[in-house]
Amino acid sequence: MQRWAMLQAEYLREAAEIWNKTILHAGQGLSLPDRRFSDEAWTQNPAAAYMAAMYLLNARTMMQLAESVQADHKTKARIRFAVQQWIDATAPSNFFALNPEAQRKALESRGQSIAQGVQHLLEDVRRGHLSQTDESMFEVGRNVATTEGSVIYENELFQLIEYAPRTADVYERPLLIVPPCINKYYILDLQPENSFVRYAADQGLRVFLISWRNADESIAKRTWDDYIADAVIRAIGIVQDVAKQEQINTLGFCVGGTMLGTALAVLAGRGEQPAGSLTLLTSFLDFSNTGVLDIFVDEASVRVREMTIGEQSPTGGGLLQGRDLAATFSFLRPNDLVWNYVVGNYLKGETPPPFDLLYWNSDSTNLPGPMYCWYLRNTYLENNLAQPGKVKVCGVPVDFGRIEAPAFIYGSREDHIVPWEGAYASTRLLKGDKRFVLGASGHIAGVINPPAKNKRSHWLNPELPADAHAWLAGATEHPGSWWPRWSEWITSHSGKQVAAPKSPGNRTYRPIEPAPGRYVKQRA
């Protein structure tokens, strides 16, 4: 009660101060430290300035009240999240009647901004999602996902792309990339200047990549075991065959890293060690620290999914719609990925600028329900994969400690999807030689950071203490991209250089179609 009384007294004091500044100085002395209210239209209108200042005060106070709730960690996190969603949704900037900036634009354009905003709204209703970029400016295969290559294998779950060599000689040990199946692979091959795939090929690597099929009803009953056996393990075997190498370099991004780690653990349980190296980019193997996503997962919510789209559903499996996942991830950062575009697109009638990363973000994917439900229960809910032998995949007890490959593990410091401490936890599960690198920024921008841009920084520490924050305390910050660190590491595990192959595939696995292939072009 004492805490609440202090918050009440502080609220009344600040509210009185805002009122007095509005009356005495027509709102000119009010501080509006929020980019939503940065336009001069807010400060020049005393009523708008007062409203914005009171909104910010109310928002701070509500979050302080949420922090004061006496509850267990998960309940408190859910309260904080719900309160933050309400705060962000009710900002005066989100409503035309309360937004002086949008009103001014309507007057200056003689109503054209309103008409354009309505048009944007109707177009987004037709598309089924909120536009975050000018989608007409991009096309998969034309100006995104353009690195030259060929599809050399396909089944109903994936296509395997072999990229054309970009150097006269290549390292004999190839690289297989396993991207996340909850998004399209071309986040790793956006445009030439920020393509991780092209960069890897430029380093002399022979690059292969899994392009996941956008699930439809024909594969709605597929399971996690199917994705491991018929996709990841199948791809590993094909790359070994085509490259004529017993061991290959492997890389997994996000849930692709979880799938790759699981596949390698299954193979290790069978006595096979096909990976000469393992790279994990913002990936979980240990799901004990999943950050804000933890608030969405409990026994009841997982059970509902299992009964509606999982193997226990009346049909034996359904689809998790891509738009559901996309909406969930967008509302993790609602001001940046939702309300910012509501205001710009609809209230101001602006067309969002072209941005390849946001085009990719809007290109959602469906997942088979049984596969997704198994993943949800055994990772986020029960964290079974991290417990050696606790769960079987493809009939084999999973133990990441059996994987003998050296590992390069990357985390992003501001990642809200895979907190970097969660990525670091993989160092405790993998037993081979390991290196951890921490990059600046978030889940995507931290990963897609080409050296030529000379942006951001990364941290290095050769020691790997048990505690992630102890690692950071002993780490040294270095300017620029982490990609050259990875290039130096991966090439040291790639064997000698040989003449680049003159054609993709081999007699068994012949080119089917040019990259990027059909699967990545399928829309949810």
- Per-residue model confidence as pLDDT tens digits over 160-195: 999 999 999 999 999 999 999 999 999 999 999 999
Do 510 and 238 contact (CB within 8 A), yes or no? no
Assess whether pLDDT exceeds 80 at residue 27.
Answer: no
Confidence label for 279 from pLDDT (cuts 50, 70 and 90)? very high
CA–CA dist 339, 11 (Å, integer): 26
Ranges of H-type helices in 474-524: 483-492
434 forms beta bridges with 407
Identified catalytic residue from 181, 254, 373, 394: 254
Is the domain defined by 149-321+366-521 classed in CATH 3.40.50.1820?
A: yes
* pLDDT value for 151: 98
Do 120 and 133 contact (CB within 8 A), yes or no? no
* pLDDT value for 437: 98
* pLDDT value for 158: 98
3-state secondary structure 369-414: HHHHHHHHHHHHHCCCCCCCCCCEECCEECCHHHCCCCEEEEEECC
3-state secondary structure 106-171: HHHCCCHHHHHHHHHHHHHHHHCCCCCCCHHHCCECCCECCCCEEEEEECCCEEEEEECCCCCEEE
Average pLDDT for 281-296: 95
CA–CA dist 342, 365 (Å, integer): 23
Our answer to whether residue 254 is catalytic in this structure is: yes
Residue 321, helix vs strand vs coil: coil
For residue 151, give both structure tokens. 């599809």
Residue 180, helix vs strand vs coil: coil
What's the sign of the alpha-carbon dihedral 82, 290, 283, 154? negative
Neighbours of 518 (CB within 10 A): 14
Ramachandran bin of 161, using left for φ above 0, alpha for ψ from -120 to 50, beta for the remaining angles: beta
DSSP 230: I
Do 234 and 156 contact (CB within 8 A), yes or no? no
Q: Supply the pTM of this predicted model.
A: 0.94
CA–CA dist 420, 282 (Å, integer): 7
Percentage of residues of the chain with pLDDT beyond 70 = 99
Report the range of poorest mean pLDDT among 92-96, 329-333, 406-410, 416-420. 329-333
Confidence label for 26 from pLDDT (cuts 50, 70 and 90)? low
Pairing state of beta strands 457-460 and 434-439?
A: antiparallel
Average predicted confidence (pLDDT) for the chain: 95
**Cα 491 to the chain's mean position, in Å?**
26
Residue 427, helix vs strand vs coil: helix
Q: Tell me the pLDDT tens digit for each residue of 463-514.
A: 999 999 999 999 999 999 999 999 999 999 999 999 999 999 999 999 999 9
Percentage of residues of the chain with pLDDT beyond 90 = 85
Query: CA–CA distance from 418 to each of 31, 145, 194, 294, 480 (Å)?
Result: 35, 25, 22, 11, 22
* pLDDT value for 176: 98
Assess whether pLDDT exceeds 80 at residue 1.
Answer: no
For residue 253, give both structure tokens. 């991004």
* pLDDT value for 299: 96
Q: Tell me the pLDDT tens digit for each residue of 330-356.
A: 888 899 889 999 999 999 999 999 999
From the list 345, 339, 309, the residue with the least C-alpha distance to 324 is 309
Write down the residue that tokens 């009803």 correspond to.
217
Whether cis (ω within 30° of 0) applies to the bond prior to 352 is: no
Neighbour-count burial of 119, counting CB atoms closer than 10 A to its CB (0-12 exposed, 13-18 middle, 19+ buried): middle
CA–CA dist 9, 98 (Å, integer): 28
| Backbone angles phi and psi of 274, in degrees to 5 | -80, -15
Contacts of 49 (CB under 8 A, 6+ apart): 22, 27, 28, 30, 32, 42, 43
Do 474 and 461 contact (CB within 8 A), yes or no? yes
Contacts of 232 (CB under 8 A, 6+ apart): 178, 210, 259, 260, 262, 263
